[in-house]
Amino acid sequence: MQKYREIGLKLTPQRLAILEYLDGNTSHPSAEDIYREVKKRFPTMSFATVYNTLEVLRKRGNLLELTIDPERKRYDPNTSPHHHLICLRCKKIVDVHVDYRIDLPQKERESFEVFGNHIEFYGICNNCKQKGGVMNGSV
């Protein structure tokens, strides 16, 4: 928790519960998911507390905001470089920890300083396949 104090985050009991929920969490939860879970311990906590905490963490580089779900933002406490595999049905997101080498042609990158990349893989998870199958590759 010292790293959060160092970035100037006031550690209230509600914020500590949010940080505990995020610590090691690989489910890529939305703000709503986090709120629903933490509210069980703190029934009077507002959604704004969750959202504001996520914003502070994101701005300070301690949390990634994922925009790979068009219905809602998802959050990833793992800020190390990695990619994602996304189920098109249930929206499950899985981390992919493989370094794929991608060489951009000089023409495309000449007006950019490239810092990294993020690859998204899409498919249907085994659980969803067992529930309904895939017909002709459609979702």
Same-domain check for residues 49 and 15 = yes
Quick count: other Cβ atoms within 10 Å of Cβ 3? 10
Same-domain check for residues 63 and 39 = yes
Same-domain check for residues 60 and 99 = no
Tell me the whole-structure pTM to 2 decimals: 0.81
Same-domain check for residues 69 and 86 = no
> Is residue 139 in some structural domain?
no
Same-domain check for residues 54 and 35 = yes
H helices of 23-82, in order, are 31-38, 47-59
Structural element, H or E, at residue 6: helix 2-6
Domain that holds residue 97: 82-132
In this predicted structure, what is the pLDDT of residue 104? 87
In this predicted structure, what is the pLDDT of residue 10? 83
pLDDT in tens, 27-72: 999 999 999 999 999 999 999 999 999 999 999 889 999 988 888 9
For the chain, what is the domain count? 2
Q: Calculate what percentage of the chain has a pLDDT beyond 90.
A: 63
CATH of the domain at 25: 1.10.10.10
Query: How large is the average pLDDT for residues 8-15?
Result: 86
Same-domain check for residues 12 and 64 = yes
| Three-point CA angle 7, 12, 15, nearest 5° | 70
- Whether 26 shows a pLDDT value over 80: the answer reads yes
